[in-house]
Structure formats: C-alpha cells, structure tokens
Amino acid sequence: MLMRSRLFGVLIASALVVSGCARQAMTRQDFESAKLPISVAWLKTRDLRTPTVAGLVLRMLGGIGTAPIGAYLDEKSAEKMKKEIVVPDMGFEVASRFMSIWREKGAAPEMVLLQAPIEKDHRFPGASIVFEIIEQFYIGVDGQLVATCRITMKDNSGKTIHKNLEWFNGFSLDRKRRSLDEFKADNGKLLVEEMKFASQYIADKFVKEILVDLSK
C-alpha cells in the first residue's frame, strides 16, 4: 500500500506541474470586442488511461527494457476498459456544463455548442471557446479519477484572449476510492458518475475565474 501511495503521489505531482502552466487572464475590453455568437467546441477526448501498479513501476525504472513493457501493460489496461464500457467524452461534458453554469450565473454571452468534436486546425467563423482534455487523464492506482482540461478563448481574428488549465483530482477532494472493477461494473455506472462530477467541478472553476477577470 505504501508503494501504491508513493506511485500515486508521483502522478499527482505531475498533474500539479501541468496545472501550474501560465494562465492568460481575459480583459473586459477583449471580451466585449468578440462578436457574438461565440462558438463553443471541444477536441475529441483522449482515451482514459488506467495505469497498473506493475506498469508504473516498470516505467519509473526507466530502463530500455522495462519502460516499454510498463507502457505496454498500461496501454492494454486502457484498451480493455474501452472495450468493456462506454466512456463519456469528457471534453463535451465540460463544454456543455460550462455554458449552463455561465448562463445560471447571469450575464453570459450568446454561445452555440458545436455538435461534434473538432480537429486542432479547425477554423471558426467568429469568436470561439475550445476545451481540451490533456495529458493528465487517468484513474490512479489508488482508485481516484484525475482529469486536466485546457480552455482557450479566441476573438474573431483568431487572437487568444483567454487561456487557462483546471484539473480535477479525486484524491485531494477526498472522493471515495474505487477499484477498476468497481468503476467498470454495470457498464461503468460509477465511472460515468465520477466523470460527470469532475466535469461539473472543472467547468464551474473556469466560469468563476472568467467572471473574476471580467469584474476587474
């Protein structure tokens, strides 16, 4: 158990490094210059990773022979979960909740949610808000969901006027720990619930920080 906790701690530290990347605040002037409606979209969400204890140990050893084997074990674990359950597109979950939360808090701009994920080189007819679930997206060996999401808002000319990262860490939020088998049971019912909770948490953080920027 101690080894598992230490391994999980390494993953959490990595997520903290990612979430510490520079944040670009949005000015009221930039926000008001964006012509409406704003397109809201998301990049197709990467596969949810399910690292195994064995895989993590082998990858952390970093040897020419051990690291690839560890990566292979973790890849097979993720593939198995993908075959057994239907995992929600968390990018979509964050995007749709972001719109709902902002509207509930009032003074939201006119926004239109696209109906399918986009590619990185997608071009919008006007202003846009794009969400992307990035590297830190996994179920830790200690049975907690970790997810990191990037938001990027651009004006009508394609200039970035807001950028930020938020992450959900079930461990730090004292969420209940579950085994992979528990998460996968009943077609992933508990995993879906946890992902929706995480999406709501991340979207709420994004909205709060935007509203703070616009209040200055």
**Is residue 157 included in any domain, yes or no?**
yes
Q: With 60 as the cut, is the pLDDT of residue 78 above it?
A: yes
pLDDT of 22 reads 72
- Which CATH number goes with the domain that contains 158? 3.30.160
Domain extent, residue 158, equals: 23-48+87-214
pLDDT per residue over 154-206, tens digit each? 999 999 999 999 999 998 899 999 988 899 899 899 999 999 999 999 999 99
Half-sphere exposure at residue 162, Cβ-oriented, CA atoms within 13 angstroms: 26
Q: Model-level pTM greater than 0.75?
A: yes
Query: CA 89, CA 204: separation in Å to the nearest integer?
Result: 18
25, 162 contact by CB (below 8 A):
yes
Question: In one letter, which amino acid is 103?
Answer: R
Total domains in the chain come to 1
Query: CA 181, CA 73: separation in Å to the nearest integer?
Result: 17
**Is residue 74 included in any domain, yes or no?**
no
Question: Region 50-74: what's the mean pLDDT?
Answer: 56
**Is residue 8 included in any domain, yes or no?**
no
Question: Region 76-91: what's the mean pLDDT?
Answer: 80
pLDDT per residue over 90-129, tens digit each? 999 999 999 999 999 988 999 999 999 999 999 999 999 9
